[in-house]
Structure 1
């Protein structure tokens, strides 16, 4: 099995721009990621890398649109 790239979003495979292991707090620690979105991550990638801002924003936007 190939190594998991922790810089890659598990949903869209783009760079997740996560810097959780950096010197400054990363954007990802302050974002509310909905459980419904987390369940869309393939089991083999769950908890291995962060979902990117774009995927989180798209999911949140679609949730708002679907409620109206």
Structure 2
């Protein structure tokens, strides 16, 4: 059951909690071709760091600030 919860958790943006639409499992994702600032990455809760992708909407919103 714990593995299933981790898989579900990884599908959601750790910042806004919406689906992150990560395509990493299929071998390619929009985030592979986008620079994500260290400042934004620091906002990810420690327990999700490196485990759940920030969604494109959060990345774009951060870049506008």
* TM-score above 0.5, yes or no: yes
Task: Give 1:65's aligned residue.
Answer: none
When the two chains are superposed, the root-mean-square deviation of aligned CA atoms in Å is 1.3
Task: Give 1:60's aligned residue.
Answer: 63
Q: Unmatched 5+ residue regions in structure 1?
A: 63-68
Task: Give 1:29's aligned residue.
Answer: 32
Q: Normalized against structure 2, the TM-score is what?
A: 0.84
Q: Normalized against structure 1, the TM-score is what?
A: 0.81
User: Number of residue pairs matched?
Assistant: 60
Matched, 1:16 2:16: no
Rg bigger for which structure?
A: 1
- For each residue in 1:4-47, what CA deviation from the matched residue of structure 2 results, as whole angstroms up to 9, or x when unmatched? 31110000000001011115x21111110000000001111111
User: Which ranges of 4 or more aligned residues in structure 1 deviate by more than 4 Å?
Assistant: none
Q: Unmatched 5+ residue regions in structure 2?
A: none
